Amino acid sequence: MSAGKSADKGSGKATAAVTNVVLAGLGGQGVLKASDILADAALRAGLDVKKAEIHGMSQRGGSVTSDVRFGQRVLSPMVPRGEADFLVVLAPSEVEVARTMLRPGGVLLSPDLVPEASLPNKRSLNVALLGALSRYLDLPTAAILDAIRAALPERLHEVNEKAFELGRNLVARQGRIS
């Protein structure tokens, strides 16, 4: 895993300031829930945001990916292949399938980052990985936590807040990608 810097970032153009995140996993793992939370957090931070995925057949245990893009102005809702700044993968089997989405020097956050035993609840891997991702993003933590609470029923708030903190602490502060 590397927190590479992008040479083509920071050119001052509006679209160049867009952050591209791809989340991948299998149906039922909470990929779409995680991307909903991330997109909502960007909205709460006052940014333009778009999120794209394919529903339907993928719900039956197949591969699921979801694209989240945010910045001052987002055009296409889909992250172009090979241009994701971050790839968050929830299922080990999906790492190789989704890897081509990542740009050279982009950051891969894979499920082996989070030891299963350390999770407060197995189903909170998605939120733990969001916690890890949040270290790299220029989004206020409060906005992400608010988005988590808005997306989940109250009885799941505590366990997911713990999972988020766990993920955050697993990644030493890498500094955001400018």
Partner 1 sequence: MERQLLSGDEAVALAAVHVGVALGTGYPGTPSTEILEAFSELGGRAQWAPNEKVALEVGLGAAFGNARALVTMKHVGLNVAADPLFTAAYTGVSGALIVVTADDPGMASSQNEQDNRRYAVAAGLPAIEPADSQEAYDFFFTAIEISERWHIPVLFRMTTRVCHSKSVVVPRAAGEQGPAPAPHFERDIKGRVMIPAHARPAHRRLRAKLAEIAAWGEGCALNRLEPGERAEPGDRKLGIVASGVSCLHAAEAAPGASIFKIGLVNPLPIERTRVFAASVERCVVIEEGDPVIADSLRAAGVVVESKAEMYRFGELDVPRVRRILAGDITPELAAPRGKPPELCPACPYHIVYATLKKHDCIVAGDIGCYTLGVLEPYQAMDTCVAMGASIGVGLGLRHVLPADEARRVVSVIGDSTFVHSGIGGLVEMAYNPPATGHVVLVLDNGTTAMTGQQEHPATGRTLDHLPTGKLSIEGVAAAIGIGSVTVIDPYADPEGFERLLLERMAAPELSVIVARRPCILAAADIRRWERQAAELRAKAPAQAAFDLPLAER
Q: Report in angstroms how near the CB of residue 87 gets to partner 1 at its nearest.
A: 13
Alpha helices (H) along the chain: 31-44, 95-98, 125-134, 141-151, 157-170
Q: Which is nearer to partner 1, 80 or 115 (CB)?
A: 80
Does residue 63 touch partner 1 according to CB under 8 A?
yes
Size of the site for partner 1 (CB under 8 A): 41
- The Cα 66–Cα 43 span in angstroms is 17
Among the listed residues 63, 69, 67, the one whose alpha carbon sits nearest the alpha carbon of residue 90: 63
Candidates 51-59, 116-124, 136-144, 166-174: pick the segment binding partner 1 (CB under 8 A). Answer: 51-59
- The Cα 49–Cα 64 span in angstroms is 20
Does residue 59 touch partner 1 according to CB under 8 A?
yes
Does residue 77 touch partner 1 according to CB under 8 A?
yes
- Residue that the structure tokens 């890498």 belong to: 174
Residues of the shown chain interacting with partner 1 in the complex, contacts defined by CB under 8 A: 13-15, 26-27, 36, 39-40, 43, 48-63, 65, 73-78, 80-82, 93-94, 96-98, 100
